[in-house]
Chains A and B, each alone.
Chain A
Amino acid sequence: MPTSTSKYQYITCDPTKCVGCQLCEYICSYVKTGEFNTYRSRIRTVRAEEILITAVACRTCEDAPCVIACPRDALSQDPNTGIIHVDANRCDGCAWCVEACDFGAISINPETKTAEICDMCEDLEDGPQCVKWCPKEALELTTPDRRAQRSRRKLAVEEVLGR
């Protein structure tokens, strides 16, 4: 099971809350392409088993494998946010980054033949639109550290207070 080593924020999904409605995909594709096409979303819902549903987007890995894999140096990582930027002039859609990503979080636009990766809506004031829209509050912008803190708190409450 691959895990992100990120110190950066990324969008995470709580599978116990996710119901698989795909509204994140609708809003993402609209924000990024101007039309509703879940095929073009940068966050993807996954229904792997009948009762296993979650959503996956870029995990902003440190020393991101996709950046390393790119033979044309089209991908770069913002050192402050961890967001992967794609230089459309250099990217030729070879999909090495797609293969390198353990999370399946990169796709190639079939028309422009360039890589598309979640940028956490960095240019929008109210942040990632998928997080804003998620009706079940399953999506969250967080870091691994913050997730760990929450897990520890939850464990403490469960073990000590038994609830």
Chain B
Amino acid sequence: MYGYSGKILHVDLTTRKTWVESKPEEWYKIYIGGVSMASRLCWENIEVGCDPLSPGNPICIANGMFAGTPVPVGGKYGLASKSPLTGFIGDSLSSSWFTIALKRAGWDGIVIHGASDDWVYVFIDDDRVEFRDASQLLGLGTFQTEETIREELGDDQVRSATIGPAGEKLVRVASVTNDSRQAGRTGHGAVWGSKKLKALSVRGTHGVSVADPDALLQLSYDITQAAQGPHTQKYRILGTMANVLNLNRLGILPTRNYQQGVFEYAELISGEYLHEHYHVKTIACAQCPIACEQMSQVKDGPYAGAMTGIDYEPLYAVGSNCGVKDLRAAIKTIDICDRGGMDAMSTGVTISWAMETFERGIFTKEDFKCAKYPEGFEPNFGNAEAVVTLAEMIRDREGIGDLLAEGSKRASAQVDAERGTETWKWAMHIKGLETPGYDARGLKTFALGLAVGTRGACHNRTAAYDPDIKGEVDRFSVDETRGKLAKSTEEYAAVYDTLPLCKFIRRCFTGKADRAGAWPAIAKLINATTGWDFDYDAVDLIGERAFTIKKAFNIREGWTREDDHLPWRWMHEPMKEGPSAGYVVSEEELEYMKDLYYEAKGWTKDGLIPKEKLIALGMEDVAEEIGV
């Protein structure tokens, strides 16, 4: 087999035993890699119905076929466990050196079972596995943990995926970090923390062989060149931060916990402003010729010295969404999240829930007592220091941070149970995962894509904002096309997330990002790597299969149609101002669109998957368990 080793490494933290599982080529042709393979490994290895923070929940890592080759943006991996935020599949992506080291060590995937009694980190040194004491790493931030391990092992080629203090404390919005990139969403850091696993370190010294290296090189070279042109200008120059002003102008920039879609200080937190005042260096993931990470540094004021890569999604969450207009405070908050090992999106949206709860008089100053402010503080929207402090309190589970560390769904449920309030109405999440940086009241196809998403409110898994923003449909209304569009866009995204390739490359194959523009080129890359004979249809099936295995996982964990919901606010409170003023996604619209979507997917009206559908996709064993 080319492009794969055919081997999955199993590591049991309870027994400290390891074993190797061989997978047949047919299995790889169905699950490929990335989020699909990681989710399939999770399907195979989980104790069904387990608590996500119990030993029965495995950590599943899957490389991509392109990791370790010069295929641009192919250095990504999938990470899957049952999410402690949603109770459904938590499938995340991260990128860069770690996955390439894993590939060179000879592993297509890793499954970590059980839980350790003492804090450990696991060192995979090619085919040797070592359980190492992690007590000296406790409390260290993510970047520092990586450096310390490199020093301890005496090789700067050792790459690690780590958790920070937040993961150690089982903060449910905690992430996993490697090479300053995050598998950010769905709370993986808490799963690792529950197993007392501080890091997974890898040294891989072997080469990666592909079926037709000369063809692969030529294809890669051409894509690399195209990636320097207009197709990636936004990512290279301003990074994803260019979205701030665009989305603000369209009236869908989440502002003050989604109470507004226009932020009057948007210019001050824009990509343009960041570039001019705080940008210090542009960085690429390993194997990426685009380079989109905008490293930004605070040079003055109380947060001087804070530095991290700034992307749009973390920024809206801790910026406009908390009413914060000072980029220095936003950079500091994201720095706290990145080093502390937390998802800045879920952290920001949970903080904004707390701010609104305070402004409505349910929380008081008393509730915000902490070591730094013994008398408490008043977290009104726009109070930048409050946002910084709350991020630290969540990371450390200090004071009210202990509540907020549970994420907005659990925090609001707990407050409502204790105080008889209805704060859940402004808890902005779907299935427990906080909403991304687009107000879906002004993007109706996207609203459907988010509602039916298998991992909750994720913009990356459904690309359904695309037809709305590009104007292929009217973004303010609903019609019979939306079910097919939601299916088509989520499966499109899933092809990239499964190979995985970073979606930022999608226009560089032919200049056109649609299936016709990209799939034939991707088929060539797959064939030159593996020696397979994939064509357009085979590439297209990758996405449908990926979504199917994730959905099947959710169904087995108890999913029902009611779980495909939207936050109450988006369904009941019209946008007040801007171009999207007056709109909500009504119950009727949502249910109508869900019907259309399930039908387009070939599922039942209840959203369940017929046996024959699963068998046609090559998933006979899945059909046995959950097919109807």
Cross-chain contact A21 with B291 (CB below 8 angstroms): yes
Residue picked from B70, B100, B213, B287, most chain A C-beta under 10 Å: B70
| A52 CB, min distance to chain B CBs, angstroms | 8
Indicate whether A51 sits within 8 Å of B70 (C-beta atoms), given known contacts A22-B287, A30-B213.
no
**Can you sample 25 A-B contacts with CB below 8 Å?**
A19-B282, A19-B284, A19-B288, A21-B284, A21-B285, A26-B69, A27-B70, A29-B207, A30-B217, A35-B207, A35-B208, A35-B209, A35-B213, A36-B207, A38-B100, A38-B104, A39-B204, A50-B180, A50-B307, A51-B297, A53-B281, A110-B205, A133-B70, A135-B225, A135-B228
* Residue B221 interfacial (CB < 8 Å): yes
Cross-chain contact A20 with B70 (CB below 8 angstroms): no
| A29 CB, min distance to chain B CBs, angstroms | 7
| B366 CB, min distance to chain A CBs, angstroms | 39
A55 CA / B48 CA spacing, docked (Å) = 48
Indicate whether A135 sits within 8 Å of B224 (C-beta atoms), given known contacts A21-B291, A40-B207.
yes
Find the A residue at minimum CB distance from B292.
Answer: A19
Cross-chain contact B207 with A23 (CB below 8 angstroms): no
A26 contact from B205, B285, B287, Cβ within 8 A: B287
* Residue A5 interfacial (CB < 8 Å): no
Cross-chain contact A37 with B104 (CB below 8 angstroms): yes
| A162 CB, min distance to chain B CBs, angstroms | 19
* Residue A136 interfacial (CB < 8 Å): yes
Cross-chain contact B283 with A51 (CB below 8 angstroms): yes
* Residue B206 interfacial (CB < 8 Å): yes
Residue picked from A21, A23, A35, A135, most chain B C-beta under 10 Å: A21
| B596 CB, min distance to chain A CBs, angstroms | 42
| B435 CB, min distance to chain A CBs, angstroms | 30
Find the B residue at minimum CB distance from A33.
Answer: B207
Cross-chain contact A135 with B289 (CB below 8 angstroms): yes
Cross-chain contact A50 with B70 (CB below 8 angstroms): no
A29 CA / B284 CA spacing, docked (Å) = 20
Find the B residue at minimum CB distance from A137.
Answer: B228
Enumerate chain A residues within 8 angstroms of B207, measured Cβ to Cβ.
Answer: 29, 33-37, 40
Find the A residue at minimum CB distance from B208.
Answer: A36
Chain B, range 239-292, C-beta contacts under 8 Å to A:
280-289, 291
Enumerate chain A residues within 8 angstroms of B13, measured Cβ to Cβ.
Answer: none
* Residue B90 interfacial (CB < 8 Å): no
Enumerate chain B residues within 8 angstroms of A19, measured Cβ to Cβ.
Answer: 282-284, 288, 291
Enumerate chain A residues within 8 angstroms of B227, measured Cβ to Cβ.
Answer: 135
Cross-chain contact B69 with A53 (CB below 8 angstroms): no
Cross-chain contact B307 with A51 (CB below 8 angstroms): yes
* Residue B143 interfacial (CB < 8 Å): yes
* Residue B68 interfacial (CB < 8 Å): yes
* Residue B571 interfacial (CB < 8 Å): no
